[in-house]
Structure 1
Amino acid sequence: MASDTRDRILDALERLLLDVGLAQVTLEAVAAAAGVSKGGLLYHFPSKEALFASMVRRLGDRSDRQLADAVARGSSVSEIYLQYPDANSADEIALYRSMLAAMRSADGQHDEVQQAVGDVMRSWDDGLLSEIDDPVQAEIVRLVGDGIYLAALLGLPRADPNLHRRVVDRLLGTESAPDADAT
């Protein structure tokens, strides 16, 4: 039951961050949106910083589960990291919303929140480094993947799917030799 209340509070925080922005988020507003008293909110999260950091850590847990599920289905970490997010997946939409809310919460004033956002953003590094021997190449893959995800979060136009596939293949060294007739 406590877990349900915690999730309800964190969901309310995410909604407020997305709907009204960081400047309008107060403990009172979060409590009201979650349908709990301010004392009930403080029981679960003793400070605003703890509340925000918990939201970001939950995002990290969701991201880790998504990665583990995809790897269990036979995907590589690199392929997953470089794919366009599936806008039709409820889990992916929830992850998007959580990531966008987390980014809106990282205002530079809360060290614990900044650290949690940084941890989430770098959480897949070990998986990339386990697949890619060259740490520079692994970092390039991470940066490109971050750009793809950020563009999706911002609703920017997607690259042509064929071009995207060619970029991924080149980054991962899986591209086939150019067709002699295509020159």
Structure 2
Amino acid sequence: MTHSEPTPAPARSTRDRILDALEQLLLDAGPLHTTLDAVAAAAGVSKGGLLYHFPSKDALLAAMVRRLGERSDAQLAAAVAGGSSISEFYLQLIDTDEFEDHPLYQSAIASLRSVDGQDTEIQRAVTEVMRGWDDGLRKELADPVQAEIVRLAGDGLFLASLLGLPQPDPELHRRVVARLLGHD
């Protein structure tokens, strides 16, 4: 009988290492201390290597936001494949115990910290990602007012989790979702 070695995790690409370093710097130090030099050092690449993948800080930050969209799309697809609706996914309670170790939520916090309200590539990337979420709800729900109410409620649940605010009672949350989706 032979002993087999565990399969190593796939190596992260340089691009992902850079984006991971960017997110961690935004989470730990904030946007003022997140320079291209700091990101390159944290990712273990030269500044030239960073600029090869991302020609500007805006391009770097926009790529991080777009990765948030990719992570969200993947989680949504898995939830729908598991039997959830888009609306149920959007209105879920977030397990705050696992929150800090969850790549989607780390990406969300870092992305929110990167937006400064100016019309930049970063702001456009955030808008693209959020419009994608809106589109899914509008496709699923025939009533645009109901879709907007679900989006606003989901945004509030997500923001409450991001900020560590109290979560609603699980039974009350279940009843709210049932009413919003016409299952009551």
User: 1:135-181 deviations in whole A, cap 9, x for unaligned?
Assistant: 01100100100100010011111111111111111111111xxxxxx
In the TM superposition, what are the counterparts of 1:14-163 in structure 2 within 5 Å?
A: 14-87=23-96, 93-109=102-118, 111-163=120-172
Q: Secondary structure at the match of 2:72?
A: helix
Task: Describe the shift of the 1:42–1:157 C-alpha distance in structure 2 as closer, same or farther (beyond 3 A).
Answer: same
Distance 1:67 1:114 in 2: 23
- On the 8 A contact 2:99/2:105 being kept in 1, the answer is no
RMSD of equivalent CA atoms: 2.0
Q: Conserved in 1, the CA contact under 8 Å of 2:86 and 2:137?
A: yes
Higher mean alpha-carbon deviation, 133-142 vs 115-124, is at: 115-124
The amino acid across from 1:32 in the alignment is A
- TM-score, length-scaled by structure 1: 0.89
Residue identity matched to 2:73: D
Change (3 A) 1:30 1:123: same
The one-character-per-residue Cα deviations of 1:48-69 (angstroms, maximum 9, x if unpaired) are 0000000000110111111111
Q: Which has the higher helix share?
A: 1
Structure 2 gap ranges (5+): 1-9
Quote the offset at 1:121 in angstroms. Answer: 2.2
**Partner SS state of residue 63, structure 1:** helix
Which residue in the other structure is 1:12 paired with? 21
Q: What SS does the corresponding residue of 2:166 show, helix, strand or coil?
A: coil
Shift of 1:24: 0.8
- Aligned positions, number: 175
CA contact (8 A) 1:56 1:116 kept: yes
TM-score by length of 2: 0.89
Distance in 1 between the 2:24 and 2:100 partners? Answer: 16
Secondary structure of 2:13's partner?
helix
- Report the alpha carbon displacement of residue 126 of structure 1 after superposing the two structures with TM: 2.2
Q: What's the CA shift for 1:12?
A: 0.3
Q: What is the distance in 2 between the residues matched to 1:85 and 1:77? A: 15
How many percent of aligned residue pairs carry the same amino acid? Answer: 68
Deviation digits for residues 98-128 of structure 1 (CA, Å, limit 9, x no counterpart) = 0000000001235110011122223222221
Contact 1:87/1:93, CA 8 A, preserved across alignment = no
**Residues 73-96 of structure 1, C-alpha deviations (whole Å, 9 max, x = no match):** 111001110011244668971111
CA distance in 1, matches of 2:79, 2:100: 13
